[in-house]
Structure 1
Amino acid sequence: MDLTVAAFLFQDGLLTGAIYALLAVGIVLVFTVTRVIFVPQGEFVAFSVLTMAAFQAGKTPGTLWLLVALALLALVMELGVAARDGDRGRIVRAVLVYGVAPLILAMVIVWLAPRELPLMIQAAMTLALVVPLGPVLYRVAYQPVAQGSVLVLLIISVAVHLALTGLGLVMFGAEGSRIPAFSDERWQVGPLQITGQSLLVIAASVVAIGALFWFFNRTFKGKALKATAVNRAGAQLMGISSTGAGALAFTLTAAIGALSGLLIGPITTIFYDTGFLIGLKGFVAAIIGGLVSYPLAAAGAILVGLLESYSSFWASSYKEVIVFTLILPVLLWRSLKSTHIEEDDE
C-alpha cells in the first residue's frame, strides 16, 4: 500500500464514518431516553433511499401506506385508552394526529408523486413520510411496554426490525436503488478527487450533531430529554412526561436515519435489507460510546469507518468480521471498568 492508496482509503473511511456517526448518535439518543436498543435504526436509512427512488420514478412509495396503516393502528389504540379514561381531549388529539394529519399527507403525496418535481422537494416529501414513522412506531410497539425490562424491549426491537424488513421487500421489491447526488461538483486535490456529495455528507453530519448538542443544552424540550436520560423517575416526578420524551426521541432518531439515507443514497446502492448492516455498524460505534456518550459514539463511528475501509484493502472477504470483532475488546474493557447495577435499582 502506497500513500496514494492510503489517502483514498482514508477518504472513504471518513465518509462512511460520518454516516455511522449519525446512526450511532440516534441509537444512543433512543437508548438513554427509553432504554430501547433500537435495532431498526438502519431501516429508516433504507426506506429513505427507496422512497426517494420511488418519487424519482414518478410512483407513490409504499412508505405512505405503511405510515397510514400504522397511524390507524395507533389511532385505535389511543381511542381505546382515551375511552377507558374518559379523556375527551385525548380523543380529539388522537383523531387530529393519527387520523386527520396522515389523511391530508396521503392526499398531498398521491397528488404530487407522479409530477416531475425538483430534487429538494422530493427530498422534503421523503422526510415527510419517513420521519413520522419514528413516533408512530413508538406508539404502536414500544409505548405499551415502556416499563418493561431492557431484554423485553430488545426482543420487540428485533421483531420490529424483521417486520420492517419483510414489509420493505413487499413495498420496494428486491432490486437495489440509487438516488441522484445533491451536488455534482468535483475538485482534484493531489491524487484525490473530492466530490461535492462527499463534502455534503461530512458537513451535514457535523451540522446535525452540532444541532443536537444545541438542542440538548439550549432548548426546554432538549433539557427535558436530557433529564429523562439521566434519571427517568426523577424526570417524571418533576412533571416531564416519559411518553412525550420517548416519542420525541424516536422522532429525532427517525429524522437522523432519513437524513443519513438521503446522504448515502447517491454514493452506494441500497436494497430493502441494507439498513440492517448499516445500523449494526452504527450500533458498534454506539457501544464504543457505552450507549451514553455522544462524542465517544461519534469518534467510534469514525474508527469503524476507517477500520472497514482499510480492512477492505487488506482482507476484503473478512472486513465485516473485523469490524464487528471490534465490539469484543470494548465490551470486555467496559465490563471490567463498570459496576453492575440491577435494573430495579435504577
Structure 2
Amino acid sequence: MDFSIAGILLVDGLTNGAIYALLGLATVLVFAVTRIIFIPQGEFVTYGALTLAILQTGKVPGTIWLLLLLAALAALAESFQTWKRHKSVASAALAGLRVLAFPVAISLITLWAAPQQFSLLVQAGLSVCIVTSFGPLVYRLAYQSLADASSLVLLIVSVGVHFALTGLGLLFFGAEGFRNPSFWDARFSLGAVNLSGQAIIIALTSSAFMVLLWLFFERTLYGKALRATAVNRLGARLMGISSQAAGQLTLAMAALIGALSGLLIGPIATVFFDSGFLIGLKGFVAAVIGGLVSYPGAALGALLVGVIEAFSSFWASAFKEVIVFTLILPVLLWRSLKAGHSDEEH
C-alpha cells in the first residue's frame, strides 16, 4: 500500500464515518431519553434512500401507503385511549385527527408531486418529511404502552419492529437495489486523492447537523425537556414534561436523522430493502464506543469505524464486517472492567 491508496481509503473511511456518526448520535439520543436500543434505526436509512429512488422514477413510493396505515392505527389507538380517559367522543375524535393531520397532509402532497418530476432537492425534502413521519407513529404503536418496561423487553420489541419494517420494505420496494443521483457531481484533486462533491456534502451536512443538535439541546425548551427526561424520567414527569411526547419527539428526530443519512448514502452505495440493518449496526457500534451516553464519543467512534472498515476492505474484504463488529468486544470489556461493579450488587 502506498500513500495514494492510503489517502483514498482514508477519505472513503471518513466519508462513511460521517454517516455512521449521524446514526450513532441517533442511537445515543433514543437510548438516553427512552432507554430503547433502537435496532430499526437502519430501516429509516433504507426508507429514505428508496423513497427518493421511487420518486425519481415519477411513481408514488409505497411508503405513503404504509404511512397512512400506521397513521390510521395510531389514530385509533389514541382515540380509544382518550375516550377511556375522558369519556368524550369529541375529545377522542380530536385526538385521532391530531395524529392523522401531518401524515395525511404529506401523503396528499406526495400523491400530487410524484408524477410532476420536481427537482432532486424537492424530492429529497419530500422523502425526509415522509420518513420523519414514521418516527412518532412507530413509538405510539410499538413503545408507548411499554414505556416503563425493562430495557430487555424494549430490546425485544425493537427486534420485532426491525423485522416488521424490513419485511414491509421488501413488500413496498421489492428486492431490487437502487442508487440515487449525486447531489453534487464535482470532483477535486488533492494530490493523488480525488475528492468528490458528494463526499464534501456528506461531511458538511453531518457537521452542520451535529451543530444543530447541540443548539437544539442547549438553546431550545424542547431540547432541554429531552435532556431532563434523559437525566431523570420521573423527575421530568413531576415537572410536567410528558414522557410520551418526549418519546415521540425523540423517535421523530431519529427518523429524521435516518432519512437524511439515507439521502447521503444513496449516491455512494446501492441500497436494498435490507441494507439498513448493517448500516445501522455500524452506527450502534459507534454509539457503544461512546458508552451509549456520549455524543462526542459516538461521533469519534463512528469515524474510527469508518476508517477501519475502509482499510479492512483493502486488506481483507471478505472479513471487513467481522473486523468492524469485533471492535465492540474490547470496548465492552474495557467498560465492564472500568465499571468495577454490577447492578445486581445494589
* Shorter-chain TM-score range: over 0.9
Q: Name the structure 2 match of 1:44.
A: 44
Q: Aligned partners of 2:154 and 2:241: how far apart in 1?
A: 22
Q: CA deviation at 1:215?
A: 0.6
Match of 2:311 in 1: 310
Amino acid at match of 2:102: A
> RMSD over aligned Cα, in angstroms?
1.4
Deviation at 1:100, TM superposition (A): 3.6
Deviation, 1:291, is 0.4
User: Does residue 157 of the first structure (1) align with residue 169 of the second (2)?
Assistant: no
CA contact (8 A) 2:16 2:306 kept: yes
1:148 match:
149
TM-score normalized by structure 1? 0.97
**What displacement does 1:239 show?**
1.2
SS in 2 for 1:239: coil
- Which residue of the partner structure matches residue 74 of structure 2? 74
Deviation at 1:94, TM superposition (A): 2.4
State how 1:52-91 maps to structure 2 within 5 Å. 52-86=52-86, 88=88, 91=92
Written as runs of structure 1 = structure 2, the 5 A alignment for 1:249-260 is 249-260=250-261
SS at structure 1 position matched to 2:115: coil
Q: CA deviation at 1:90?
A: 5.0
Cα displacement (A) at 1:115: 1.2
* Amino acid paired to 2:76: V
Paired residues of 2:30 and 2:254 also in contact (CA < 8 A): yes
Distance 1:314 1:272, change over 3 A: same
Once the two structures are superposed, what CA deviation does each residue of 1:244-263 show, in whole Å capped at 9, x if it has no partner? 11111101111000000111
Query: Residue type matched to 2:194 in 1?
Result: Q
SS at match of 1:187: strand
User: C-alpha offsets along residues 92-147 of structure 1, whole Å, 9 cap, x if unaligned?
Assistant: 54233223433332222111111121111101110111001011100000001111
Answer whether contact 2:288 2:298 (CA < 8 A) is retained.
Answer: yes
Tell me which amino acid in the other structure corresponds to 2:74: A
* Kept in 1: contact 2:102–2:133 (CA 8 A): no
Instruction: Tell me which residue corresponds to 1:273.
Output: 274
- Contact 2:74-2:141 within 8 A present in 1 as well: yes
Structure 2 counterpart of 1:81, one-letter code: Q
Deviation, structure 1 residue 87:
6.3
CA contact (8 A) 2:217 2:224 kept: yes
Residue 343 of structure 2: SS of its match in structure 1?
Answer: coil
Counterparts of 1:194-273 in structure 2, within 5 Å, are 194-273=195-274
1:103 aligns to 2:104 (yes or no): yes
> 1:235 Cα deviation (Å)?
1.0
Q: Distance in 2 between matches of 1:15 and 1:285?
A: 15
Q: Quickly say closer, same or farther: Cα 1:285–1:256, change in 2 above 3 A.
A: same
Give the counterpart letter for 2:264 in structure 1.
L
Gaps of 5+ in 1: none
CA offsets per residue over residues 284-315 of structure 1, 9 Å max, x none?
Answer: 00000110000000000000001101111111
Give me the whole-angstrom Cα distance separating, in 1, the residues matched to 2:289 and 2:164.
28
Mapped partners of 2:343, 2:134: distance in 1: 33
| Corresponding residue of 1:341 | 343
Contact 2:103 2:133 in 1 (8 A): no
| 1:28 equivalent in alignment to 2:24 | no
Q: For 1:269, what is the secondary structure of its paired residue?
A: coil
The whole-number CA distance in structure 2 between the counterparts of 1:316 and 1:175 is: 23
How many pairs does the alignment contain? 344
What is the TM-score of this pair, normalised by structure 2? 0.97
Distance 1:200 1:160, change over 3 A: same
Write the letter of the residue equivalent to 1:269: T
Match of 2:265, as an amino acid? I
Structure 2: stretches of 5+ with no match in the other structure: none
The alpha-carbon deviation at position 238 of structure 1 amounts to: 1.3
Amino acid in structure 2 at the alignment position of 1:65: W
Counterparts of 1:333 and 1:105, CA distance in 2: 46
